[in-house]
Amino acid sequence: MSWISWVSFGICIGIILSMIRRDADLLSPARVFGFVWSLAIGLTELKLSRFQTEWNAQSWILLLLGLGSFLVGVFITYVLNVGRHVVPIDTMRRELRHAQVYEERLFKAIWISVIVYGVSYLVIYAVKGFLPVFVVGTKISRVDFYVFGFGVLINSTAYIIYFTLLYHFLVPGNKRRKRILTALTILAVGSYFLLLQRFQIVMAAMICFTLLYYATHRIRLKTALPLFLAVAGFFYWIASLRLGSLVATYTYYAAKMTFSKTFALLTEPYMYMVMNLENFARAVNRLDHFTYGYFTFDFIGAAAGLKYWLSDYFGIDRLPYLVSGYNTYTAFWSFYRDFGVPGLVLIPFILGLSIGLVYYRMRRQPSIKNVTAYGVLVFVMFISYFNFPIAFLWFEYNALALYALLRWTIVPRSTIGPRTSQLESGSGRVLPATK
């Protein structure tokens, strides 16, 4: 094992140990981002596959530029908030338990969202005539299960899951409605699994985890690790389905692993994590032109229906310089491919600064809206070793839906008074989180 792996795993252990302190915040930006990337780099430097190569100085410099720029942005927000009051997490939990919601609006928002999802699902199936899970191993790809417009709306599962959790958390009683919403959500998620999509489910898991951590006592260090392993296992399961009937032994030989065949089951999760960094390290040394925002602002082209037209017109190779079947490059690749070194420095810096500002806003003014906003960004940090989700239209759609529905269903603090629990409006009853 190289010294880089030792240092990286040492940082991971240090971050875990720092969480033991009573007042430590498990989900602070530096901890989340630092742990994910230290683990990814440590695993990558084990070089357990012959597809992996030793990186040159340029690859390391560019990767560290991106990582360092993000952390500098986060650090600036820390300096700006030194000496300023932040609400202790235990106090946040007490305040968030007393958040109030327009119960009728929230109930309607969830079942209408499920209807939108269901209609989109049926329309695409009627047009395409297949479900991705049943064409695994054929020439048909899961990305072919798409119809313009409906292909965005079908990604509603992330916020459906979250708002169902929010209903359970904020609305006392109403067991009948809770059972209905739970059944609808299980039906939506179950059918969504058939599409072999993963990011939306992981996004929902991260936002829900963030809410449960800051609003309840259910999330601790001992529960965070199992969730992390569960998410990793989910990625592995989806990847395994996409491989079709290929067994672990075949995957082991195809990936040219250097460890014993006894541990062949570890091949897929290992390769799924490290090849993103390997692809980045290989591609940055070969790139000879830039795409000036095509990938970083992918959602604009997708919303306009020009994404693939532009790709064909300008001859953009979306997956260049691959050495294996693993076709993602980390979030930093989008910034570098679009704008070179300036993009690799500036965009992560702005991203780190923005995430830090949202985090400290949540810590100073704890509310369901602020916790949700930060939960979305926890997902962005968690998945940054793999991709840049903000660039995708489905992410923008879910973020916009979360923002709009929270504004419609959460009672503003300015309206909360001594009679709030008895307030009635034409749009729905206002209910406290606890009796």
Rounded to whole angstroms, the Cα distance separating 169 from 164 reads: 9
Which of the four pLDDT bands, split at 50, 70 and 90, describes residue 428? very low
| Residue 359 belongs to some domain of the structure | yes
Of 245 and 208, the structure prediction assigns the larger pLDDT to 208
Q: Are 431 and 170 in contact (CB under 8 A)?
A: yes
Q: Are 239 and 196 in contact (CB under 8 A)?
A: no
Q: Are 101 and 428 in contact (CB under 8 A)?
A: no
pLDDT (average), residues 334-345: 95
Of 199 and 240, the structure prediction assigns the larger pLDDT to 199
Which of the four pLDDT bands, split at 50, 70 and 90, describes residue 426? very low
Write phi, then psi, for 430 (nearest 5 degrees).
-95, 125
pLDDT over threshold 50, residue 418? no
Quote the pLDDT of residue 65.
96
Rounded to whole angstroms, the Cα distance separating 84 from 206 reads: 28
Q: Is 393 exposed, middle or buried (0-12, 13-18, 19+ CB in 10 A)?
A: middle
Q: Are 118 and 226 in contact (CB under 8 A)?
A: no
pLDDT over threshold 90, residue 406? yes
pLDDT (average), residues 408-429: 56
Most confident of 12-26, 236-250, 340-354: 340-354
Burial per residue of 72-86, b for 16 or more beta-carbon CB atoms within 10 angstroms, e otherwise: ebbbebeeebeeeeb
The token pair that represents 234 in the structure block? 């989910």
3-state secondary structure the chain: CCHHHHHHHHHHHHHHHHCCCCCCCCCCHHHHHHHHHHHHHHHHCCCCECCCCCCCHHHHHHHHHHHHHHHHHHHHHHHHCCCCCCCCHHHHHHHHHCCEEEHHHHHHHHHHHHHHHHHHHHHHHHHHCCCHHHCCCCCCCHHHCCCCCHHHHCCCHHHHHHHHHHHHHHCCCCHHHHHHHHHHHHHHHHHHHCCCCCHHHHHHHHHHHHHHHHHCCCCCHHHHHHHHHHHHHHHHHHHHHHCCCCCHHHHHHHCCECCCHHHHHHHHHHHHHHHHHHHHHHHCCCCCCCCCCCCCCHHHHHHHCCHHHHHHHHCCCCCCCCCCCCCCCCHHHHHHHHHHHHHHHHHHHHHHHHHHHHHHHHHHCCCHHHHHHHHHHHHHHHCCCCCCHHHCHHHHHHHHHHHHHHHHHECCHHHCCCCHHHCCCCCCCEEECCC
Quote the pLDDT of residue 374.
97
Among 432, 365, 383, CA closest to 92: 365
| Residue 50 belongs to some domain of the structure | no
| Residue 403 belongs to some domain of the structure | yes
| Residue 384 belongs to some domain of the structure | yes
| Residue 237 belongs to some domain of the structure | yes
Quote the pLDDT of residue 407.
93
Rounded to whole angstroms, the Cα distance separating 336 from 151 reads: 28
The region that residue 410 occupies, defined by phi over 0 for left and psi between -120 and 50 for alpha, beta otherwise, is beta
Structural domain boundaries enclosing 433: 64-244+279-317+328-435
Quote the pLDDT of residue 328.
85
306 CB contacts (<8 Å, ≥6 apart)?
Answer: none
Which of the four pLDDT bands, split at 50, 70 and 90, describes residue 163? very high
Quote the number of domains for the chain. Answer: 1
pLDDT (average), residues 73-102: 91
pTM of whole model > 0.85?
yes
Which of the four pLDDT bands, split at 50, 70 and 90, describes residue 415? low
pLDDT over threshold 80, residue 331? yes
Percent with pLDDT over 70 in the chain: 86
Quote the pLDDT of residue 137.
58
Burial per residue of 96-132, b for 16 or more beta-carbon CB atoms within 10 angstroms, e otherwise: beebbbbbbbbbebbeebbebbbebbebbbeeeeebb
Quote the pLDDT of residue 430.
47
Average pLDDT, the chain: 85
pLDDT (average), residues 168-194: 90
pLDDT (average), residues 60-72: 96
Quote the pLDDT of residue 322.
83
| Residue 21 belongs to some domain of the structure | no
Quote the pLDDT of residue 254.
77
pLDDT in tens, 256-287: 888 877 777 778 778 888 999 999 999 999 99
The token pair that represents 303 in the structure block? 């919303």
| Residue 312 belongs to some domain of the structure | yes
pLDDT over threshold 50, residue 249? yes
Quote the pLDDT of residue 225.
63
pLDDT over threshold 50, residue 429? no
pLDDT over threshold 60, residue 433? no
